[in-house]
Copies of this chain bind each other. A is one copy, B any other.
Amino acid sequence: MARVSCSDPAPDPVPDVRRRLLDVAAEVLAEEGPSALTTRRLTREVGTSTMAVYTHFGSMPALVREVVADGFAQLCARVGAVPRTDDTLHDLTTVAAAYRQHALAHPRLYAVMFGSASLGGYRLSDEDKGVGLEAFGQLVAVVERAMAAGTLRRDDPAAVAGQLWTALHGYIMLEQAGFHRVVDDPEDALLHPMLGHLVAGLAADRMPG
């Protein structure tokens, strides 16, 4: 009888080589970066041979692909866990904050997820992007609710959500690349005003001009 629950500690003395490979891979990636995630290092850590990677995943890029898929799923779950309220504008803020928080907590994984940090021969596949776009779909939903509530001007929800995502993603990328020394407090000087101006532009009732 296999118990299944959130964050099972270690019920099995040999808890599935495949699962451990994925977990240790994510761990090594998170702690030491993409260049440390090698076949030999990973299998040594798990206590098996390099063949384990190939019997379970076929190749190292395929293993990375699953790590990335897990990363997208976690991001999706993190964003999905944000409680939705009647204040749709507030929801936009909290969802964006959760997104950024997750990216900050897993910077290397986030970088690999979005095509940065090449990590050997691994490249984003279309299905990977599909999984990533599920998280984006949540943002679209929030935008749609905001439009329905009259908080945002009616427009293509995907386009509006895309604008918010683009700005947020750009902030995260520059933050992780270390280019935010241009101002003292990037969050107060860059992120919040930028999103504020963007939301204001998207919310304005009166047409510009």
Contacts and interface: CB of A to CB of B under 8 A. Distances in A.
Given A117-B116, A182-B136, A200-B201, A190 B171 contact: no
A159 B182 CA distance: 8
Given A124-B177, A173-B114, A200-B197, A166 B190 contact: yes
Interface of A: 34-35, 111, 114-121, 124, 129, 132-133, 136, 156, 158-159, 161-163, 165-171, 173-174, 176-183, 186, 189-191, 193-194, 196-198, 200-202, 208
A171 to B, nearest CB: 5
A200 to B, nearest CB: 5
9 contacts: A115-B176, A132-B179, A158-B183, A162-B190, A163-B194, A166-B170, A168-B170, A198-B198, A198-B201
B197 A35 contact: no
Nearest to A130: B181
Contact of A156 (B121, B133, B163, B189): B189
A183 B162 CA distance: 8
Contact of A163 (B119, B136, B162, B193): B193
A197 B193 contact: no
Contacts of A115: 111, 116, 173, 176-178
A196 B186 CA distance: 22
Given A183-B159, A190-B162, A201-B198, A111 B121 contact: no
Given A132-B179, A166-B190, A168-B170, 19 more contacts: A35-B121, A111-B116, A115-B176, A115-B178, A116-B117, A117-B117, A129-B181, A136-B182, A158-B189, A159-B183, A159-B190, A159-B193, A162-B180, A163-B190, A166-B167, A167-B194, A169-B170, A198-B198, A198-B201
